[in-house]
Amino acid sequence: MEKHSKIYIAGHRGLVGSAILKNLKAKGYSQFITRTHKELDLKDSMAVAAFFASEKPDYVFLAAAKVGGIVANNTYRADFIYENLMIQNNVIHQSYLHGVKKLLFLGSTCIYPKNCPQPMKEDYLLTDVLEYTNEPYAIAKIAGIKMCESYNIQYGTNFISVMPTNLYGPHDNFDLEKSHVLPALIRKMHLGKALELNAWDVIRKDLNHMPIESITGSASEERILSILNSYGISKSGDGIQLEVWGTGTPMREFLWSEDMADACVFIMENRNFKECYSENTAEIRNTHINIGTGIDISIKDLAYLIKDSIGFKGSLYFNASKPDGTMKKLTDPSKLHGLGWKHQIDLQTGIKKVYEWYCKERT
């Protein structure tokens, strides 16, 4: 990419998109094209076509997607497959039609089989069945990978797919109904700590910033305690008890979102599709690149790490009646490491940084 190139970041307000935009600005890129969802609905084929015809971006980061945790993925299965397919189909196809020089498509490691060998290599894609709870989302992301590969093979485009591990960082989704495990635990323990301290001003500010099922900080203490209890934040004896879904035994890998953004920009600057496979191969497959740390942690240990970082003194209850999801999801980032990139922020540091950001947003 050239510093004066026109760069479109789809999803620039999200966890990944905002980090990519910040990274590009820091590296001296200056011409950005952005649109909020209200300004451009990426599910609208005609609107996306008009946008590309008007703006003519040189490079595209496709970071826009409908995302969520186990509950959201399993509950809104139709929404997850429909919306993600529509978004990526429109952006990838219009990028081809309007001569985009290079596109980076962001997937997810949930594309790998439920019982995938560990750590997960790119070659393990489509070798077994998927985890049921997020199967629609995973299928949409697999379709995006294959769409990029297919357009490259048939039309000679330069579209690259990357598969990030679980991400966290500034601008994460802290909605308790739809968020992933790490941001959900951060918010729950933040609210639990406030209850311990009887800091109702902190609780009300949090709910005003992001209501829980339409319950804001203006609600009565009784109603607020009721909604918190329904999400596993409850008074127990003299202290506060916090529910964590599942047994706590599943292992998960986490990557700081700004490290992820740096990897994305690194790949856009240093990698082309033709370098993602051997010239002598008869079948071009699995050209995507994993982005991860290669280090995982149990959900139980993660919960206690967040508990210590936030200073929550209450007890944790692991509800084994709730789903665990896949027991282990660890990426093999050796392909990316071989290109010369490695993450910088460790998990303990990252949790402290994201909690500082979370509290600052609510002051």
Q: Which residues are part of the catalytic machinery? A: 137
CA torsion angle 147 150 155 156 (round to 10): 100
| Pairing state between β 233-236 and 102-106 | unpaired
- Cis bond leading into 164, ω under 30°? no
